[in-house]
Structure 1
Amino acid sequence: MMPVVSMLIAAAAAATPQVAIDSAMADSAAGWNAGDLARFTAIYAPDAVYVAGDKVVRGKAAIAERYAKSFANGGNTRGRLSFQPMAWRPLSAVHVLHVARWTLTPASGTPQTGLTTLLFERRKDGWKIISDHSS
């Protein structure tokens, strides 16, 4: 009998790119909301590049380090994360450009929102972000 995680990975791999990427994005947001940094950053490829403001961060480990300050005491300090897909553009059989609106809703105060442009690449372990430009 196949373990549940293996079945989910196999199902996601068989899904259309949009369905698989939406699933990965939802799981990343769920990781954020659960205060699980490893789950939140699992969507990034090891060699991913992250751009925000005037910073360029290279590599999944450095991206995780950048976000680590938002995670404290088994939670996160910035609010509940959600993504709203805005645009899709397949670039090749293994690359998809995805634009989404991110929203952080704190327990109290005003939500923050912005746009993210993500370049996904299909790899052996699923669709992974290889470039993230967020504002």
Structure 2
Amino acid sequence: MAGTLALAACNGADAPEPQASVAEVPQVADIEAALNDSAAGWNEGDMTRFLAVYSGDPRTAFVGGEEVIHGRGAIETRYRDRYDWSGPDPSGRGVLSFVTEDFRPLGQDHALYVGRYVLEYPQGKPPATGFTSLVFERENGKWQIISDHSS
């Protein structure tokens, strides 16, 4: 009997799936809520709301394509130059959403979020999608992006 129990305990197929820690659950939920609010800003053509998830620290970094830029102002310029912000109609810039792929708390006030961004366009234009890895820092009770690497 003991041999059967030992063999069953070693069988990886019956091992339970890893569970999120108690501390991780509120962090990921709060960060997903912050990203959903940012996406709502994008979808409504509200640049201020879209960018509110980024830290105001001048060292906040965005890595995309072949560039690294720092500061919310430079990040705003990048998005203004690449997408149509002339009004609330998202047809020119797409409807933004995020899909969480991985999440890792990095202590109480930092976390790594890995996800997929999706921009869906009307009239049959194929969606644009890619991966993003975001480092968040809790600032004054709010989760803010301090590093964004999107491809």
TM-score range (shorter-chain normalised) is 0.7 to 0.9
Query: What secondary structure, in the 3-state scheme, does the structure 2 residue paired with 1:46 have?
Result: coil
Which whole-Å CA distance do the structure 2 matches of 1:85 and 1:106 have between them? 21
Partner of residue 26, structure 1: 36
Which whole-Å CA distance do the structure 2 matches of 1:80 and 1:130 have between them? 24
Q: Which runs of 5+ in 2 are unaligned?
A: 1-24
Query: What secondary structure, in the 3-state scheme, does the structure 1 residue paired with 2:107 have?
Result: coil
Which whole-Å CA distance do the structure 2 matches of 1:53 and 1:85 have between them? 21
**Paired residues, what number?**
121
Which whole-Å CA distance do the structure 2 matches of 1:75 and 1:42 have between them? 20
Partner of residue 68, structure 1: 80
Which whole-Å CA distance do the structure 2 matches of 1:118 and 1:73 have between them? 27
Q: Percent identity?
A: 44
Partner of residue 41, structure 1: 51
Q: Which runs of 5+ in 1 are unaligned?
A: 1-14
Which whole-Å CA distance do the structure 1 matches of 2:120 and 2:141 have between them? 30
The structural deviation recorded for 1:125 is 4.7
Larger fraction in strand? 1
List per-residue Cα deviations over 1:46-92 (Å, max 9, x = no partner): 12100001111100111011111311234442210010000001111
Which 4+ stretches in 1 moved above 4 angstroms?
none
Pair 1:59-2:55 in alignment: no
The answer to whether the Cα contact below 8 Å between 1:90 and 1:96 also exists between their aligned partners in 2 is yes
Greater Rg by CA:
2
**Aligned AA (1:73):** G
Which whole-Å CA distance do the structure 2 matches of 1:107 and 1:57 have between them? 30
Query: What secondary structure, in the 3-state scheme, does the structure 1 residue paired with 2:108 have?
Result: coil
Higher-RCO chain (CA-CA 8 Å, sequence separation at least 6):
1
TM-score scaled by length of structure 2: 0.76
Pair 1:93-2:105 in alignment: no
List per-residue Cα deviations over 1:91-118 (Å, max 9, x = no partner): 1111100001001011121101000000
